[in-house]
Structure 1
């Protein structure tokens, strides 16, 4: 199996480490920036500098020509946040494979645990072919997990990151066959959210009538690792944010 790897965050490091440990080294690597994580990815890849592409250099014409010469079976995208152009999507013989923290077709796009809680949808992890339309490609494998009443978006995301690694490892034999499963998504199901959509639901209107359940779900859905994504209200010209911790007592 010949592949290029485009990754970001610790999950990308863990999955690339796993692939290399299993005997599958990348032919090329796309990193986001000069962060410590990108340095770690570079080091474990064992690749020469000319086979490592940073940021939008990954989309340059010279890079595209280089990748075409590598006779790649796959390009793996692991939490790689840049929009992939069509010219890159079509390079690998089998396809560009993406790992997404959601149970597609539900919650395409950004802030998947937040929207899963808000909309009470199915949640999990999905390995799928990447298409020009965001998170709309055929599904290879997926695993669903239950959303617990004590889950915040941050807690749920931490759980799904572990699930994504488990999913990729389970799917590896299928990928190695070079003929992985392909199940088209039902385009009539699910939803898609941009990165900015979360801002539309953050402000609390203090006079609005809601149920306790609706309020709790909103607060926990907006409790992430970033206080700037939290629910907030304005009182006497001052802004207050709300982040919650929910604990089950047995």
Structure 2
């Protein structure tokens, strides 16, 4: 394409800012706006960009907005779709031992179910905490986007359809329940360690347990010999 690709960017997290800044440095790209709230989405109706790119946006984009950009709406998700749609994919990759990775996909009216443009698996280790894996996924999102961008800009991408019923999905409420440890529950050692590893994300206090009326927060450090 010889004309500038006009983009509206949706995002708020660290990976999103890295992608946003990288796009702003491209030739033949004009990033018209960075939106972080649901109320700002009307700007897409006003500007009618060629493309919407999302990374870290915390709201579902309505179908009438998705239909506006001629080149579609792309989202970077820190999961190897169709596994771990929704919230906290780094946590569930550890807890449920599902593939960890990152995916660039077209957005549709439901969450993380659109056609896949590109995806990449990210390695996991038993010593990983949720924070370790989260940081690795952020790096992988940025690298995947840079690698795929020339094909996107040229309008030369092939996609993979996500089949209904495949993969996994989690809400924020699932994460909140995971944080509540039961002092009287009997669990396998590996399952408990995986849960604690996944919830360890300093400086945040995630895993918590109540003993004799007092609440304690739990982190874990697993080291390889």
TM-score (norm 1): 0.83
Number of matched residues? 221
Aligned CA-pair RMSD: 1.6
In structure 2, the CA distance between the partners of 1:93 and 1:225, relative to structure 1 (3 Å rule), is: farther
User: Which structure 1 segments of 5+ residues have no match?
Assistant: 33-54
Answer yes or no: is 1:194 the counterpart of 2:198. no
Q: Within 1, Cα distance between the matches of 2:192 and 2:82?
A: 26
Kept after mapping to 1: 8 A contact 2:8/2:35: no
Partner of 1:170: 147
Moved over 6 A (4+): none
Instruction: Give the C-alpha shift of residue 27 in structure 1.
Output: 4.3
Answer yes or no: is 1:21 the counterpart of 2:22. no
Report which of the two has the higher share of helix. Answer: 1
Partner of 2:137: 160
Answer yes or no: is 1:247 the counterpart of 2:223. yes
Partner deviation per Cα, 1:1-22 (whole Å, 9 max, x = no partner): 3322122122222212222323
Partner deviation per Cα, 1:121-143 (whole Å, 9 max, x = no partner): 01100000011110000000000
Partner of 2:16: 12
Q: Within 1, Cα distance between the matches of 2:35 and 2:185?
A: 45
TM-score (norm 2): 0.92
Kept after mapping to 2: 8 A contact 1:5/1:26: no
Moved more, 157-166 or 16-25: 16-25
Q: Within 2, Cα distance between the matches of 1:81 and 1:14?
A: 17
Kept after mapping to 2: 8 A contact 1:73/1:178: no
Partner deviation per Cα, 1:164-187 (whole Å, 9 max, x = no partner): 000001101110121322110122
User: Which structure 2 segments of 5+ residues have no match?
Assistant: none
Partner deviation per Cα, 1:37-79 (whole Å, 9 max, x = no partner): xxxxxxxxxxxxxxxxxx233233xx344123xxx33100111
Q: Within 2, Cα distance between the matches of 1:195 and 1:226?
A: 19
